[in-house]
């Protein structure tokens, strides 16, 4: 999953600590900004082999439905070139392949080498070889020319990007005019009655399941905390507008447990 440097106020910008150094959040902890990439990298190196299990535990398996809907409603056609950031184990890329067809190309990018390796191996095992490219990259400085892609996606990765504003600007830069950017991410639950149940699952159940099934409770605790630090729906929409996207909108799924944000390059 991608990670870059910086963030805004409560949900993003660097803050100045008592010693004058920039800090940002790592879950509910304040850490020096320069350390977050390493810390997030350690989390995903730890869970890379259990990534699908992680998502099953966090979403009770519903993440597979969310991902299918995310791709099915994307603006993409046969022959398109697509960049899937925070590509993880290739779930989104595999679904996109059916949309772009044999003439299309999908670039699966991730900052974490372990995640990228798992993704490449799984895609190969599925017989998905032609039309795929794998790039280890940082979302803050994408190694692609301007206007390189018809669609840019990021699923369950933006909350781990330290400087979300920089990541969004880079997504816009590499899009072609008329191209679409889509963000699938855990968001702010809207139903008041459901919030305590969701919190109990996130902070009491999930870390114990992580310890039981993956031998790692700390990483799952961080992942639950990172969801609460992620900008809620209207704030992320405003961030996309500030980054330069046009026609920004979002759609809540399952009462706002996750949201799909969309923007276009005018």
CATH code of residue 145: 3.40.50.150
* Percent of the chain residues topping a pLDDT of 90: 55
Residue 163 forms part of a structural domain:
yes
Cα(first)–Cα(last) distance of the chain, in Å? 28
Q: Do 143 and 137 form a contact (C-beta atoms < 8 A)? A: yes
pLDDT at residue 184 in the model: 97
60 or 157, greater pLDDT: 157
Q: What is the pLDDT of residue 37?
A: 67
- In sequence order, the β-bridge partners of residue 85 are 154
pLDDT digits (tens, 9 = 90+) for 224-249: 888 888 999 999 999 999 999 999 99
pLDDT (0 to 100) of residue 77:
97
Is 219 among the domain residues? yes
Residue 2 lies in a domain: no
pLDDT at 13 exceeding the cut of 60: no
Asked whether residue 136 is domain-assigned, the answer is yes
Total domain count for the chain?
Answer: 1
Q: Is residue 141 part of a domain?
A: yes
Residue from 60, 59, 89, 50 nearest 211 by CA: 50
CA distance 235 to 221: 24
Question: What's the mean pLDDT in 182-197?
Answer: 94
> Which residues, 6+ apart, have CB-to-CB distance to 123 below 8 Å?
90, 93, 94, 108, 129, 132
In-domain check, residue 78: yes
Q: Do residues 217 and 208 touch, judged by C-beta distance below 8 A?
A: yes
- β 246-253/132-136 pair status: unpaired
Backbone angles phi, psi at 164, to 5 degrees: -65, -35
User: Is 3 contained in some domain?
Assistant: no
Q: Does any domain span residue 6?
A: no
What confidence tier does 9 reach under pLDDT thresholds 50, 70, 90?
very low
pTM of the predicted protein model: 0.82
Contacts of 163 (CB under 8 A, 6+ apart): 4, 5, 6, 7, 12, 140
Q: Any residues with CB less than 8 A from the CB of 242 and at least 6 apart, and which?
A: 165
The percentage of residues in the chain with a pLDDT greater than 70, rounded to a whole number, is 82
**Domain ranges, residue 251:** 15-264
Query: For the ranges 78-82, 113-117, 170-174, which has the lowest average pLDDT?
Result: 113-117
CB hemisphere CA count around 146 (13 angstroms): 4
Q: Is the pLDDT of residue 52 over 50?
A: yes
């Amino acid at each position: 999953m991608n990670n870059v440097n910086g963030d805004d106020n409560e949900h993003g910008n660097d803050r100045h600590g008592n010693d004058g150094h920039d800090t940002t959040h790592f879950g509910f902890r304040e850490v020096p900004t320069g350390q977050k990439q390493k810390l997030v990298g350690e989390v995903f190196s730890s869970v890379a082999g259990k990534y699908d299990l992680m998502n099953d535990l966090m979403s009770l398996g519903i993440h597979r439905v969310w991902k299918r809907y995310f791709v099915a409603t994307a603006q993409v056609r046969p022959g398109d070139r697509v960049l899937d950031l925070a590509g993880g184990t290739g779930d989104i890329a595999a679904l996109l392949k059916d949309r772009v067809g044999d003439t299309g190309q999908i670039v699966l990018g991730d900052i974490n080498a372990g995640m990228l390796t798992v993704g490449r191996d799984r895609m190969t095992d599925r017989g998905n070889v032609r039309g795929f490219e794998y790039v280890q990259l940082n979302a803050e400085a994408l190694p692609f020319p301007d206007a390189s892609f018809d669609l840019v996606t990021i699923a369950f990765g933006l909350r781990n990007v330290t400087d979300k504003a920089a990541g969004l600007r880079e997504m816009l830069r590499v899009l072609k005019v008329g191209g679409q950017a889509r963000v699938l991410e855990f968001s702010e639950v809207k139903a008041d009655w459901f919030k305590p149940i969701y919190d109990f699952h996130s902070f009491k159940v999930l870390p114990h399941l992580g310890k039981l099934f993956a031998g790692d409770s700390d990483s799952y605790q961080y992942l639950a905390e990172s969801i609460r630090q992620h900008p809620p729906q209207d704030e992320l929409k405003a961030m996309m507008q500030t980054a330069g996207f046009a026609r920004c909108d979002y759609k809540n799924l399952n009462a706002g447990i996750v949201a799909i944000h969309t923007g276009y390059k005018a």
